Chain A
Amino acid sequence: MKTRKPNAISRRSFIKGAGAVAAAAGLVRVRPASADEKTLPPGVLEKLGPEAATIELNINGKPATLEIEPRVTLLRALREHLGLTGTKLVCDRGACGACTVHLDGKPVTSCMVLAIDARGHQVTTIEGLGTPSNMHPVQAAFVDEDAQQCGFCTPGMVMSVAAALEKNPAATTDEIKHATAGNTCRCGTYPHVFAAALRAVKPGRATRAV
Chain B
Amino acid sequence: MSRRVTLNLGYQGNTRDVTVVIPDDEPTPWQWGERLSVVGKPAPRVDGPLKATGAAHYTYDIELPGMLHGAMLRSPWPHARVRNIDLSAAQHLAGVRAVLALDDREIRFAGQEVAAVAAISSDIAADALKLIKVDYETLPFVVDMDSAAKDSAPRVFGSGSNIGKVKHSSVGDVPKGLEIAANTIEATYTTPVQTHVCLETHGAVASFNAAGDQLTVWCSTQGVFSVRDDLAVYFSLPPDSVRVVCEYLGGGFGSKFGATPEIIVAARLAKTTGVPVKVVLPRADEHRSTGNRPNSEQKVKVGVDHDGKLIAIDLVTRGSGGIGGGAGSAGPFGSVYRCANIRVEESNIYTNAGPSSPMRAPGWPQGCFALELAMDEMARKAGIDRLEFRRRNSDNPVRAAEYDIGARAFGWAEKNEAAKSTGPIKRGVGVASAEWHAVGVSGPEAQVIAHRDGSVEVRVGTQDIGTGTRTVLAIVAAEELGLPVDRVKSEIGDTRFLFSVPSGGSLSAPSNSPAVRQAAAHLKDKLFRIAAPILGAEPNDLEASNETIRVRTNPSRAISFTDVCKRIPGDSISAQGERVPNYAGFRTDQAGCQFAEVEVDTETGIVRVTNVVAVHDAGRIVDPLTARSQVNGGILMGIGFALFEDRRMDPQLGIMVNPTMDDYKLLGALDVPQIDVTFFEVANGITNTGVMGLGEVAHVASTAAVACAVYDAIGLPVRSLPMTPDRVLAALGHA
Contacts and interface: CB of A to CB of B under 8 A. Distances in A.
Interface string A82-111: 011111111111011010000000000000
A151 B44 contact: no
A132 B55 contact: yes
Interface stretch (A7-15, A28-36, A41-49): A7-15
A186 B625 contact: no
A144 interface: yes
Interface stretch (A18-26, A114-122, A153-161): A153-161
B52 interface: yes
Interface string B10-51: 000000000000000000000000000000000011011111
Contacts of B437: none
B632 A151 contact: no
A177 B629 contact: no
Contacts of B539: none
A169 interface: no
A34 to B, nearest CB: 29
A143 B44 contact: yes
A5 to B, nearest CB: 12
B653 interface: no
A155 B49 CA distance: 11
Contacts of B52: 135, 139-140, 142-143, 147-148, 151, 154-155, 158
A154 B662 contact: no
A60 to B, nearest CB: 11
A9 B197 CA distance: 32
Contacts of A13: 123, 126-127
A201 to B, nearest CB: 16
A53 interface: no
Interface string A169-194: 00000001110111111111111111
Contacts of B120: 7-9
Given A93-B661, A96-B199, A143-B48, A188 B633 contact: yes
Contact of A150 (B44, B124, B465, B668): B465
A126 to B, nearest CB: 4
* A83, A88, A191 interface centre (most CB from chain B within 10 Å): A191
Contacts of A6: 121
Interface in B38-70: 44-45, 47-58, 60-61, 63
B249 interface: yes
Given A95-B661, A96-B661, A149 B467 contact: yes
A139 B124 CA distance: 37
A188 B466 contact: no
A182 B669 CA distance: 8
* B48, B58, B250, B468 interface centre (most CB from chain A within 10 Å): B48
B537 interface: no
A202 B360 CA distance: 37
A131 B632 contact: no
Nearest to A129: B53
Contacts of A87: 54
B49 A95 contact: no
B626 interface: yes
Interface in B75-110: 94-95
A131 B55 contact: yes
A84 B57 CA distance: 11
B689 to A, nearest CB: 21
B124 A9 contact: yes
Given A186-B251, A190-B636, A11 B672 contact: no
B637 interface: yes
A25 B58 CA distance: 36
A8 B199 contact: no
SS class, residues of chain A in contact with chain B: loop
A7 B121 contact: yes
A123 B634 CA distance: 35
A162 B605 CA distance: 35
Nearest to B130: A13
Contacts of A166: none
Contacts of A188: 632-637, 667
Contacts of A83: 63
A90 B635 contact: no
B48 A130 contact: no
A194 B636 CA distance: 14
A11 B669 contact: no
* A6, A90, A93, A144 interface centre (most CB from chain B within 10 Å): A90
B55 A146 contact: no
Contacts of A181: 668-670
B732 interface: no
* A7, A131, A133 interface centre (most CB from chain B within 10 Å): A7
Contacts of B675: 191
B466 A177 contact: no
Contacts of A92: 282-283
B412 interface: no
B628 A93 contact: no
A157 to B, nearest CB: 9
Contacts of A180: 669
Contact of A184 (B57, B467, B629, B661): B661
B235 to A, nearest CB: 27
A146 B629 contact: yes
16 contacts: A13-B127, A91-B662, A93-B283, A93-B660, A93-B662, A95-B660, A143-B48, A146-B48, A148-B51, A148-B52, A151-B47, A151-B466, A177-B669, A177-B672, A178-B670, A182-B668
Across the A-B interface, the 10 shortest Cβ-Cβ residue pairs: A86-B54, A152-B250, A188-B636, A150-B466, A151-B51, A188-B633, A149-B466, A126-B54, A143-B48, A8-B121
Given A88-B60, A153-B199, A189-B629, 5 more contacts: A135-B49, A143-B44, A146-B44, A186-B197, A188-B634
